[in-house]
Amino acid sequence: EGDWGLTLRPELLDRAARHFRTVRLPVRWSNHASADAQARIDEAFARRVDAAVDRLLAAGAWVILDLHHYMQLAGGGPLHPHEFSVDESVLEDRLVNLWRQVAARYHNRSPRLLFELLNEPPGGDGPGLGGERGNRLAARALAAVRESNPTGVVLVGPDDWNHPRGLARLQLPRDPNLIVSIHSYDPFDFTHQGVPWRQPPLPRGVGCCDDAQRRQVREALDTATAWSRAQGVPLHLGEFGAYREAPMPARAAYARLVREEAEARGIGWAWWEFASDFSPVWDSAKGRWVEPIRRALGVK
């Protein structure tokens, strides 16, 4: 909250819950907790999250409560401005202890509250949180959730920033109540044109979606669907979106394409994002829908 130019006003939460069945709530727990291995969560911050979660649940939404942007642990890039660093030796224990606290805090909420262990673990078997290390840590975090929350649904995602490519390395703990979360930002040079965190920035003016681009979207979703069938674990498409500097007609075409391809495979989805600064469907400054995106997503 604040970092993405948005304050969670009650009417914003109500609108999200009224128009979407599922709301994914990204929370940077790691930055609102003690720097030691215990990672004691700041109570004032947690109450702020309680208010958002409870308001969304009361409005009837399913809520995916996510652990977002623990950049020092995820290792995919530099720390963010305002992110404090901790001793390397406590990084993993902090994640596990954050989940122990979050799960205990919400253990008596509605079954419509789901937990997502870690947004976008980066890459493969290289440095960072991919492969074996990511699998081991997810298993530990899940065990911490299960201490207070034996059957609630938990989302786990593959490395490579949740791209379906990472599924080949994902080893899930044995647990009947898991959903695997994937993200779809293909074609990346289209969806991420002009984003300031890529230097030099990807060139602007790339359109969407020609045959090759459509194929790219479909192939990734097919990889995920085949994996999901083989493993017997359902999928959720936790993020897709196209940066606001891409041409609007192409963004709307992209939104429609990915939504339809996901729905054709029986995959529920969440657009990134509702009202912040990457690819909003609600313009919070003007208090109105971004119409082409709203229509493409089929939001009533």
Q: Summarize as ranges the residues that interact with ligand BGC (CB under 6 A).
A: 68-69, 119-120, 239, 272, 278
Q: Which is nearer to ligand BGC, 76 or 268 (CB)?
A: 76
User: Least separation, in Å, of the C-beta of 173 and ligand BGC?
Assistant: 23
Q: Which is nearer to ligand BGC, 261 or 273 (CB)?
A: 273
Strand (E) or helix (H) holding 91? helix 91-105
Reading the block at residue 278, the tokens are: 């990457």
**Closest CA relative to residue 272, chosen from 72, 59, 120:** 120
Q: For residues 159 and 165, give the distance between their C-alpha atoms in angstroms, rounded to a whole number.
A: 8
Q: For residues 173 and 229, give the distance between their C-alpha atoms in angstroms, rounded to a whole number.
A: 17
Q: For residues 239 and 270, give the distance between their C-alpha atoms in angstroms, rounded to a whole number.
A: 5
Q: Which is nearer to ligand BGC, 120 or 186 (CB)?
A: 120
User: Least separation, in Å, of the C-beta of 68 and ligand BGC?
Assistant: 6
Q: Which is nearer to ligand BGC, 57 or 63 (CB)?
A: 63
User: Least separation, in Å, of the C-beta of 162 and ligand BGC?
Assistant: 8
User: Least separation, in Å, of the C-beta of 120 and ligand BGC?
Assistant: 5
Q: What is the DSSP letter of 225?
A: H
User: Least separation, in Å, of the C-beta of 67 and ligand BGC?
Assistant: 11
Residue 268: φ, ψ to 5°: -70, 155
Q: Which is nearer to ligand BGC, 69 or 294 (CB)?
A: 69
Reading the block at residue 131, the tokens are: 């492969």
**Closest CA relative to residue 134, chosen from 117, 146, 153:** 117
Residue closest to ligand BGC (Cβ)? 278
Packing angle of the helix pair 91-105, 131-146 (nearest 10 deg):
30
User: Least separation, in Å, of the C-beta of 255 and ligand BGC?
Assistant: 14
Q: Which is nearer to ligand BGC, 6 or 37 (CB)?
A: 6
